[in-house]
Structure 1
Amino acid sequence: MPQMLIPDQRAVIDRRALVAAIDDAVEDKGAGNARGAIVTLLREALAASRAELGQRLAASPAAGHEITHGHAFLIDQIIRVVHDHVVGDLYPVANRSSGERLALLAVGGYGRGEMCPHSDVDIAFITPAKPTAWCEQVIEAILYFLWDLGLTVGHSSRSLDEMVRQAKADLTIRTAILESRYLWGDREVYQMASDRFWGDVVPGSEAQFTAEKLAERDARHKRMGDSRYVVEPNVKDGKGGLRDLQTLYWIGKYNYRVKSAAELVDKGLFTREEYRSFRRAEGFLLAVRSHLHSIAGRGEDRLTFDLQREVARRMHYADRPGKSAVERFMQFYFLQAQHVGNLTGVFLAQMQEQALAPKRREGLLQRFRTRKSRFVEGYPLQAGKLAAPDDNWFKADPVRLVEIYALAEREGLEIHPETIRLIRRDAGLIQSEVRKDERANAAFLDVLCGRRDPETVLRWMNESGVFGRFVPDFGKVGGQMQFDMYHHYTVDEHTIRAIGLLSRIERGEEREEHPLATRILPGLKYRRVLYVATLLHDIAKGRGGDHSLLGAEVALKLCPRLGLTAPETKLVSWLVAKHLLMSATAFKRDLSDPVTIRKFIEEVDEAEKLAQLTVLTIVDIRAVGPGIWNSWKRQLLAELYNYADEMLRADNDADLQEKRLWTKRAEVAELLGTKKHLLAELDDRFDRNYWLQEPADIIAINLAHYAAARDVHQVLTIHTEYYPARGATLITVMADDHPGLFFRIAGAINLAGANVIDARIHTTRVGKAVDNFLVQDPLGKPFREEGQLARLKKSIEDALAGRIELVPKLAARPLPRSRAETFTVESAVLFDNEASDRFTVVEVTASDRPALLNRLTRAMFEQSLIINSAHITQYGERAVDTFYVTDLIGHKIWSKDRLARVEQALLGAIAAGEPKPAKVAAAEQVAK
């Protein structure tokens, strides 16, 4: 542990003064009775030292190495003082036998001298042979002192033979001893342990250790989401985190016997610049982890939303136009994680290269000219990978920095690690001249629209720095996160994933998950437009303003440079400007309302635009992150596409509606089978709007249940079933219509642990309510077990029968999504009287809270509004609920005064459901 990293050590802990105080306590009370006083002295010293290190972290918030070495130094001194007291005062031995020898080793992160404020203290107690009674007494006494100090101690006690045997058998033990350093005690025993490890354990096991460590890393990445760009990363164990850097050092130390990461340069595994990058990333990540421990007051390694903002503040990040302090901090975090990924790639490739070629190479050019070399368009293949012929290859023609990636994508080849190093070194050569070069732009377009695997190659380009330099607008969103619970990845990672999904759909690999997009893609007139639009759809995020419109302006400038024609450029710009239109229409509007489709068609006025926008919308949503795409969204987008496509082709809207009605009646008749007579029997009950709004399969279900209830004179009937078409559970409630029915049902559904995602409210011509709800659990999954369906039904029955009081029950329900409290969502209520011929459309944006729908619909009931349909959408912590409403006599709401009253009522309902600050809630609890 470099002492230079711990300035003014005595200010951290004055070991000499602490020893003197302990000696005084022993002299005053005696060794056996001084324990309480000694523990108090140790605790005070530990607290004061931690406070000093905390002040240093606050003063130098990025000093990760200094702070973590400082904490290790502090624990070193505490353990040494404890050891000397135990050995000298509690269990003194005048002449120890050969077995009464004990060495203390710091292992793991503590062994590296990297400890955050609440890291575990990992110690190995080593004895020459089986521990004697004296050794066991000393070890036990030391541990009890450390536990009394509140330290989390990981410990082992082994003889030299046990250490060797267990290290050979267990990778974790082998790694811990690999990082061990002498802490205190018998130095000769420590040296014997070191000699035995390097002499008996390591030789011949290097390849196995490397393979096992890489397998361990891959399994850890899989557990953590297998991406270094997840928006709540684990600083220690996540991909691109500290453990990845440590794995490199472990492998290097095990194979090359290096004593520090700096020696990896001498072994040829890192260049000096790569080692500096290693140190910068390590120092930053250690600082972030130290802040996490300090804020949480415990060993916290996950950079969660609620901690990100405070870490950013402590590390002195500030807001900038269009980008908050926390987003700037996280962008830098992801850039460091990217550096870790780069280092991992070159390190492992270099190790492989050295293993395959033990003789030192005399130069790339000489090596590539051997008879076994094969060339692909001037690029030699080395170990089957594309390589640069010489060190000046890219300097001679910087266009090659883009060209090599096009070649890699087209031929399905990897790029040699030495060449990747050259690319990173020379990426700065990409200046204005290269960006304007037709060859470079054509090569980039070949990568972007590649037929093999554009996602992987674009990721290589991004991580080497070529992507961001060739497309500077894309470079600006490198590592750019959005501080919300909806987006799972950074903007650049999201974009590259969307392009990869688009490519897989085109290759037919996503036919089951995305049948509509798979069917659309082969018929596109402008294939490359879709790839470029996917690249650019989020490129203006973080600039302030509407990123869709700003991105459309970027497209108008960039597309001609890439070689797109004027019609292609215009279409790309339109797609970027409108890339949120289709999802907003499908998820927040009533697709059965002809006005919805007409307004959509006014924007999307031709079949090519519709096809392009549909596929772009699908890949954009799917690439947001796990769990965002579901069959409900797939169904709604498919409905909107089909309705819009029909309307684009139809000459008359009215004729189209009639055709759709008759087609639906035929489908319902087929679904009813032997009960198709119900169509005629109940034709006078259900009006035209019901037939337009509900899909055929739900109509068939409704008619059958309506008839069954009618036949037995049942006043209330509730039906629940799993509805796979939309990945949800269908709940149908039939009852005598009365005001407030909707909000009572919505509240009961919430009490049963479900969330409404869509609802349609109907009243038959004889005054019967037929209400259809689609619901999911809080994780977006349907209820399908018999017990779950029965619970939903029972909750609604009890609520409508008055057997439960909804308001107190809902108020007492705990808030399961406390993470949403980290975010501020500005509540808003918008009214639109143009979106429907029959209804006023009310769109409410609010922080997503339990029972929000119940509160909103109750407020509407109290304002004498009739709800026809509700469409519920969640974007992480933000809920957007849309309602189609009328007044009590079926008219739209035009009065400005009345709209203002409705707005205030809805905002009041939102505010009533917001969680109270912890101090206020605690005060109210005390008052009770």
Structure 2
Amino acid sequence: MSSTNPGATGPVPTAPTSAQDLVRAKAVLLAQAGGRRRLGPVALRAALVDLHDFWLSSHAQAIGLTERASLVAVGALGRRELAPYSDLDLVLLHDGRKDIERLAEQMWYPLWDAGIGLDHSVRTPGQAVQVAAMDLRAALGLLEARHIAGDESLSDTVRGAVRQAWRAGIRGRFDELADAARGRWTKVGEIAHRVEPDLKNGHGGLRDVHLIDALAVAQLLDRPGRDVLEARDLLLDVRTELHRLAGRPRDVLRAQDADEVAAVLEIGDRFDLARALSGAARAIAFAAEVGLRSARSALPRRGLAALRRPPVRRPLAAGVVEHLGEVALARDAAAARDPALVLRVAATAARTGLPVAAGTLHHLADTAPELREPWPRAARDELLSLLGAGRALVDVVESLDRTGLWGRLFPEWGAVRDLPPRDRAHIWTVDRHLVEAAAFAARLTTQVARPDLLLVGALLHDIGKGRGGDHSVVGESVTQQIARRLGFGEPDVALLGAMVAHHLLLPHTATRRDLDDPATITRVVETLAATDGARKVDGGTGLLLDLLEGLAEADSLATGPGVWSPWKQTLLGELARRCRSALAGERIGRVPSEPVAPDLVAAVAAGGRPQVRFTKREPATVLIVVADGPGVLSAAAGVLALHSLEVHAAELETATGPGDAPDGAEPSPVAVLRLTVSPRFGGLPDPALLRAELGRVLDGSLVLGEALARKERDYAPVLPPGEVPTPPRALWFDDEATGGVVLELRATDRIGMLHRVAAALEACNAQIQWARVATLGSSVVDSFGIRCRLEGGPTAARRREMETAVLAAAR
């Protein structure tokens, strides 16, 4: 038999008579929601709730659960949010029936036997109220209890008593409720910025909607607004499809499932879904945070607290006061006559570390006028004060953005709002990354001559993303448009545009090119000198260089863990120092290598055994001298990886052994490798151990591939659960310094990656002159300077050969 569910688009099976019938009927529903898409997630949830309600009520009546007992649903079924594989959370209420144990067994056992997940309890009304008073989780469930079967008056009595006790005792339970929420947020993280978000427990998830509902039941807040309800519906839809696709209960959206979920919901791809989830989660998270603050202020006052005078409004700035621990508008403040008031409120909140009152945000959103163009100087000064506040900036901008105020100040922000990163190294959405970069730039304002430009440049450096094309090129014009609106003069407009256009120049050059070659420095200086921003300001090239150096540090720090490292700081500082020397007119020659100790060369030439010596400790530089031959770099890199040394740079050259070869033969050539390394953990290994293992590798008694595979099994960095490695990519560039080429590999990092890739190039008979390794979180960029015998570099066929080998090694 079947009937038509009003929320469905096809027939829905009804009247299951046993728990096995219930399971079969649910399977039919899920099949209908599958390939032909006859049931959407909303209709599927409604059908599942109806199906379970019908079976539970029918079975309850059949076993005699009618008088002096009732069955209520809490959790997902109680809220009518049942996903395909959600557990049933049921409470059997009674007022002292003698046969309650029989009823409970006859109610629960068929569900267990059918394999249906069940959380159950049996309570009298008094026990239910007592449990709710002692157990926060039980209380939150019983607040939304829904009658299923039996004596409805009993269900209503318990639900009313629990709600009344909740309202009466909320003052004593509020801290526990707030601490539990914040503890969960810390443990699980933010949905908006997680590769694999927990849709239920994450910050901005479904449990935060339940939190808002609980505060509303306590009459401390209004019920959630439309934006929160729409956000909740999206999370429920994604969770419903995730259950259906996985075939089991699941709250974490794994990366490999996101594309399929997005396709089913007709949202696009996983990046579109991530963006939609970010917006939804941030709306919920903001409402939950504001709700907790508002609810605390609204807690009923009793005893002596009720007799105290209301808190005094403490002036903070023109038109801005502190009230109840929040930044609020003074009574005489007039947003319509004060164009800088929105930014003054924001800057004051960031400066004091106090949140902006929700009422103030909404009042400003309703009454504040659009700033005229160009902005008045007072408004720009308040913006700079806000950006210079550091970490407190992040929460303030989030509150402005969630209430529409930030988008009115920066209409261009819409293109990057909630935009997920395409690079795994980035842990934030693009808009959050920009705010984080500005917060880090605030630490560096004393190091540049124009801190105002550094702050604004940091805020806008990726504003070109989400618009198609090269984001640096697009961002330059968008930034100039914004800068003119902010009231900057044309020279500053040009400088800000140049900062955005070239914000990757220094970090990419420092970590992927040979800094010892004058051509590298010349290319950077000429690039900066050719920009409009540098030409329009006295000393503009030097100023732009300083700004880009600060921006590179702030950008790296705001990207994610491990992107800014002491090694990267050293490289960037050295590049900037050499560029300044060139700007000062100093002759830039190739930095000579330190002479190789003659005793090392003589030892290799005499005995053929490799020699290893640490010449510096911070950063550590290891000097390796071996008999010249194929496979030198890959062997050295592999041995260092076995000892948990991360290679940042490598230089290769050939030296000549002592001139006492027998019978007038040519002196034996030796290969000299200088490698900059750092231990992944612990200290530096004994050079004698490195020397012995390198000798075993070169004579064939130690197979590096097998040893590194064992090392990787034990110590390989773990990607976030479900995240798939990024497909490797190879790029070619001309090397101005040597006339050769640079092969750049971008891939997911692995233990021994440099060894594998160098071995692949050596197998192609490539002459590697130098290597640079830039680690970006779980990704890596390996750059190799390759000497070319032919003018114009290797042929297309030769490039394809090397590229194919390198990509195979990276996989």
* Contact kept? 1:538, 1:547, Cα under 8 Å: yes
Change (3 A) 1:740 1:725: same
**How far off is 1:315 after superposition?**
2.1
1:292 aligns with 2:242: yes
Change (3 A) 1:206 1:821: closer
Change (3 A) 1:160 1:590: same
Aligned to 2:795, what secondary structure does the other structure show? helix
Counterpart amino acid of 1:252?
A
**How far off is 1:906 after superposition?**
2.5
Aligned to 2:173: 209
**How far off is 1:493 after superposition?**
0.5
Aligned to 1:202, what secondary structure does the other structure show? helix
* Contact kept? 1:759, 1:773, Cα under 8 Å: yes
Aligned 1:577-726 pairs, distance under 5 A: 577-604=501-528, 606-649=541-584, 651-654=586-589, 657=591, 683-684=597-598, 715-716=609-610, 725=618
Aligned to 2:700: 802
CA offsets 1:667-688 (integer angstroms, 9 cap, x no match): xxxxxxxxxxxx8xx6447xxx
Q: Paired residue for 1:872, among 750, 755, 773? A: 773
Aligned to 2:186: 222
* Contact kept? 1:409, 1:453, Cα under 8 Å: yes
* Contact kept? 1:43, 1:149, Cα under 8 Å: yes
Counterpart amino acid of 2:420?
M
**Aligned mates of 1:376, 1:544 — CA distance in 2:** 42
Aligned to 1:108: 75
**How far off is 1:308 after superposition?**
2.8
CA offsets 1:272-310 (integer angstroms, 9 cap, x no match): xx6222211111111122222223333232334323322
* Contact kept? 1:827, 1:847, Cα under 8 Å: no
**Aligned mates of 2:393, 2:175 — CA distance in 1:** 29
CA offsets 1:160-217 (integer angstroms, 9 cap, x no match): 5554444333322332333322333454654554465356x53652123222121111
Change (3 A) 1:831 1:576: closer
**Aligned mates of 1:584, 1:155 — CA distance in 2:** 59
Aligned to 2:731: 829
**Aligned mates of 1:792, 1:247 — CA distance in 2:** 58
**How far off is 1:314 after superposition?**
2.0
* Contact kept? 2:542, 2:583, Cα under 8 Å: yes
**Aligned mates of 1:475, 1:353 — CA distance in 2:** 33
* Contact kept? 1:459, 1:496, Cα under 8 Å: no
**How far off is 1:743 after superposition?**
2.6
Aligned 1:313-324 pairs, distance under 5 A: 313-318=263-268
Aligned to 1:672: none
Aligned to 1:183, what secondary structure does the other structure show? strand
CA offsets 1:610-660 (integer angstroms, 9 cap, x no match): 221111000001101233333332232233233333444452224x957xx
1:242 aligns with 2:206: yes
Change (3 A) 1:856 1:355: closer
**Aligned mates of 1:563, 1:51 — CA distance in 2:** 60
**How far off is 1:545 after superposition?**
1.1
**Aligned mates of 2:332, 2:95 — CA distance in 1:** 54
**Aligned mates of 1:284, 1:397 — CA distance in 2:** 39
**Aligned mates of 2:624, 2:128 — CA distance in 1:** 69
Unaligned runs of 5+ in 2: 303-308, 530-540, 658-668
* Contact kept? 1:783, 1:789, Cα under 8 Å: no
Change (3 A) 1:850 1:414: closer
Aligned to 1:168: 133
Aligned to 2:534: none
Aligned to 2:682, what secondary structure does the other structure show? coil
**How far off is 1:534 after superposition?**
0.7
1:457 aligns with 2:348: no
* Contact kept? 2:313, 2:322, Cα under 8 Å: no
**Aligned mates of 2:802, 2:502 — CA distance in 1:** 29
Aligned to 2:23: 43
Aligned to 2:459: 535
Aligned 1:889-904 pairs, distance under 5 A: 892-894=788-790, 898-904=794-800
Identify the range of structure 1 (610-619 vs 785-794) with the bigger mean alpha-carbon deviation: 785-794
Aligned 1:13-52 pairs, distance under 5 A: 13-15=13-15, 18-19=16-17, 38=18, 40-52=20-32
Aligned to 1:516: none
Aligned to 2:360: 419
1:281 aligns with 2:172: no
1:760 aligns with 2:651: yes
1:909 aligns with 2:805: yes
Aligned to 1:478: 417
Aligned to 1:269: 222
**Aligned mates of 2:122, 2:621 — CA distance in 1:** 61
* Contact kept? 1:869, 1:884, Cα under 8 Å: yes
Q: Paired residue for 1:859, among 743, 760, 773? A: 760
* Contact kept? 1:540, 1:550, Cα under 8 Å: yes
Aligned to 1:626, what secondary structure does the other structure show? coil
Counterpart amino acid of 2:136?
L
Counterpart amino acid of 1:468?
G
Aligned 1:65-104 pairs, distance under 5 A: 66-83=43-60, 87=63, 103-104=70-71
* Contact kept? 2:643, 2:685, Cα under 8 Å: no
Change (3 A) 1:483 1:795: farther
Aligned to 1:551: 475
CA offsets 1:324-360 (integer angstroms, 9 cap, x no match): x4433333322222322332244334434433799xx
* Contact kept? 1:583, 1:617, Cα under 8 Å: yes
Counterpart amino acid of 1:489?
W
Seq. identity, %: 26
Aligned to 1:277, what secondary structure does the other structure show? helix
Identify the range of structure 1 (451-460 vs 217-226) with the bigger mean alpha-carbon deviation: 451-460
* Contact kept? 2:757, 2:809, Cα under 8 Å: no
Q: Paired residue for 1:347, among 288, 291, 300? A: 291
**How far off is 1:394 after superposition?**
3.6
**Aligned mates of 1:42, 1:794 — CA distance in 2:** 69
Alignment RMSD (CA, Å): 4.3
* Contact kept? 1:107, 1:123, Cα under 8 Å: yes
**Aligned mates of 1:167, 1:241 — CA distance in 2:** 23
* Contact kept? 1:839, 1:884, Cα under 8 Å: yes
Counterpart amino acid of 2:175?
A
* Contact kept? 2:427, 2:560, Cα under 8 Å: yes
**Aligned mates of 2:187, 2:686 — CA distance in 1:** 30
Compare the two structures and name the one with the higher helix fraction: 1
**Aligned mates of 1:379, 1:217 — CA distance in 2:** 30
Counterpart amino acid of 1:631?
P
**How far off is 1:537 after superposition?**
0.5
**How far off is 1:818 after superposition?**
9.3
Change (3 A) 1:496 1:357: farther
* Contact kept? 2:319, 2:333, Cα under 8 Å: no
Change (3 A) 1:5 1:477: farther
* Contact kept? 2:747, 2:810, Cα under 8 Å: no
**How far off is 1:731 after superposition?**
6.6
**Aligned mates of 1:717, 1:345 — CA distance in 2:** 61
Change (3 A) 1:206 1:55: farther
Aligned to 1:881, what secondary structure does the other structure show? strand
Counterpart amino acid of 2:199?
V
Change (3 A) 1:627 1:166: farther
Change (3 A) 1:344 1:39: closer
Identify the range of structure 1 (637-646 vs 893-902) with the bigger mean alpha-carbon deviation: 893-902
Using the size of structure 2 for normalisation, the TM-score is: 0.83
**Aligned mates of 2:23, 2:390 — CA distance in 1:** 65
Aligned to 2:533: none
**Aligned mates of 1:450, 1:824 — CA distance in 2:** 36
**Aligned mates of 2:102, 2:562 — CA distance in 1:** 55
Aligned to 1:146: 111
1:404 aligns with 2:348: no
1:882 aligns with 2:783: yes
Counterpart amino acid of 2:181?
R
